[in-house]
Structure 1
Amino acid sequence: MELLLLLDACRRADAARVTAVVPYFGYARQDRRNRAGESLGSRVVADAIAGAGADRLIVVDPHTKSLEAMCPIPVEVLTAVPELAAAGKRGLGEVVVVAPDLGAVKLAEHCAAPLRAPVAVVRKTRQTGSTVRAEELVGDVESKPVLIVDDMISTGGTIEAAAHVLLEHGALSGITVVAAHGLLVDPAADRLAALPLRSLFVTDSLAQRASAAFPLEVHSIAPLLADAIGRLHQNLSVDDLLARS
């Protein structure tokens, strides 16, 4: 609501151009109806932001690939995960980048390319909102350090399931996980604490508290956002900052 009111105030003040910067687009996961009676929260929020006066929207690693298509104004979808992955790889040597589900494959490939690392993929089935079963691994992780990449960690179910499959296939203990958004809602803390994590890297798109249960490193996305905003206002390309779908 604060964002919508600010957009309206800028529009009524006759601003030449208004850009809404929303690092964590909180309703992006509600991009389809799984049963009758549900809403499309991502579409509702996108329409509200546009209707309040925004000319452009900047988001970081939204969960849905369709946000740009459903939004009535131009959307710049930035990604912070490759930089996190580069930080997470330090000291690991020949690492394997892992997509914890099929939806993260493109993101894993985007991160693996500059690292010159192979990619492995875990196939999962979501049984409930917080329970996930990993069923299959494509790729070789035996006796190798692994780096799991994803756009967000909510309950930790996907990471937990992927980690167990990787360890069963011989991956080295001391798993590194990177994700743009660390929601870390219950029971994420307990799940992550039970895993042999080397480190968990997230951004400050959401407020984070230091945890004694698992090693957490928080990286600022302020430089990424500042770079994108500066380029847009100078009419320069932001192509190398964008997420790859």
Structure 2
Amino acid sequence: MNAHLIELLLLLDACRRGGAHTITAVVPYFGYARQDRRTRAGEPVGARVVAEALATAGADRLVVVDPHTTALKAMSAVPVEMLTAVPVIAAALAEDLPDDAVVVSPDLGAVELAEHYSALLHRPVAVVRKTRASGTNVQADEAVGDVTARPVVVVDDMISTGATVEAAVHVLLARGAAADITVAANHGLLVGDARSRLAKLPLRRVLVTDTLATEKTPQEPPLQVRSVAPLLADAIARLHSDRPLDALLTPS
């Protein structure tokens, strides 16, 4: 990710020095967005640093897909258009989603996202309560909502280490959910041993978008990737013809 960021900064500078009238940086996955505040003394606010660097290098506008925090708008010196890939993933889910399925938020932070999926898929929502001990150690102890004998779709904005998904799946199975579990996330980071961790779970499929490149590995969960290229193309066309982006944006 860091190499791509440096390349983008250099490209922005080249465009600015080349006399471009306006420069829009399309950044499907905005790295460091999770560093949106200081949790202890001495920590950087990475999201602000990256946003300021892009603006300084020459970007007049940023187009991002489902950033981890909407606070990015306040951190950026230039306008930020926050597109959402939720309709893309929801359309893929709807192809074979059982009528009695439940949309599950794996923690309280993803409740609004789960409600967005619920509205598109016309399915009820359940919520798992979790506590995070570390980046790879997550404990979940309760599911709020009826999941007994029902297929579930666990939704989150990203899958990083897979710890949140793993904890949520264990709680859902303990609460009687059917062994018909789908995991959907806008960004598939899949860092560390995330793939092997997910491969050990009874998952029907893991659905992500191509905001980040994914590579096949020996220990592979049932991974499916949907493209956000049409979404980005639509946004770029609208920007260049001065048409509104409302239908493509993350709900506020």
TM-score between the two structures when normalised by the length of structure 1: 0.96
Q: Cα offset for 1:205?
A: 1.4
Of 31, 37, 42 in structure 1, the residue corresponding to residue 42 of structure 2 is: 37
Q: Does 1:14 align with 2:9?
A: no
Distance in 1, Cα, partners of 2:198 & 2:180: 12
Alignment check: 8 A CA contact 1:152 1:179 kept: yes
Of 167, 186, 190 in structure 2, the residue corresponding to residue 184 of structure 1 is: 190
Question: What aligned pairs does 1:184-203 form with structure 2 within 5 A after superposition?
Answer: 184-203=190-209
Structure 2, unaligned runs of 5 or more:
1-5
Distance in 1, Cα, partners of 2:248 & 2:42: 37
Which 4+ stretches in 1 moved above 4 angstroms?
none
Partner in structure 2 of residue 242 of structure 1: 249
Q: Does 1:227 align with 2:231?
A: no
Alignment check: 8 A CA contact 1:85 1:147 kept: no
**Matched pairs, number:** 245
Alignment check: 8 A CA contact 2:196 2:221 kept: no
Q: Secondary structure at the match of 1:177?
A: strand
Q: Does 1:92 align with 2:97?
A: yes
Partner in structure 2 of residue 106 of structure 1: 112
Q: Which amino acid aligns with 1:88?
A: L
Distance in 2, Cα, partners of 1:240 & 1:160: 33
1:159-204 CA deviation, whole Å, 9 max, x = no partner? Answer: 0011111111111112101111111112211210111100001111
Computed over aligned residues only, the root mean square deviation of the Cα atoms, in angstroms, reads 1.3
Q: Cα offset for 1:27?
A: 0.8
Partner in structure 1 of residue 76 of structure 2: 71
Q: Does 1:130 align with 2:136?
A: yes
Alignment check: 8 A CA contact 1:85 1:149 kept: no
Identity of paired residues, percent?
A: 64
Structure 1, unaligned runs of 5 or more:
none
Alignment check: 8 A CA contact 1:24 1:62 kept: yes
1:18-42 CA deviation, whole Å, 9 max, x = no partner? Answer: 1000111111011111111110111
Q: Cα offset for 1:129?
A: 1.2
Distance in 2, Cα, partners of 1:168 & 1:237: 46
TM-score between the two structures when normalised by the length of structure 2: 0.93
Distance in 2, Cα, partners of 1:173 & 1:90: 19
Partner in structure 1 of residue 51 of structure 2: 46
Alignment check: 8 A CA contact 1:98 1:121 kept: yes
Partner in structure 1 of residue 154 of structure 2: 148
Q: Which amino acid aligns with 1:85?
A: A
Q: Cα offset for 1:126?
A: 0.5
Distance in 1, Cα, partners of 2:70 & 2:174: 31
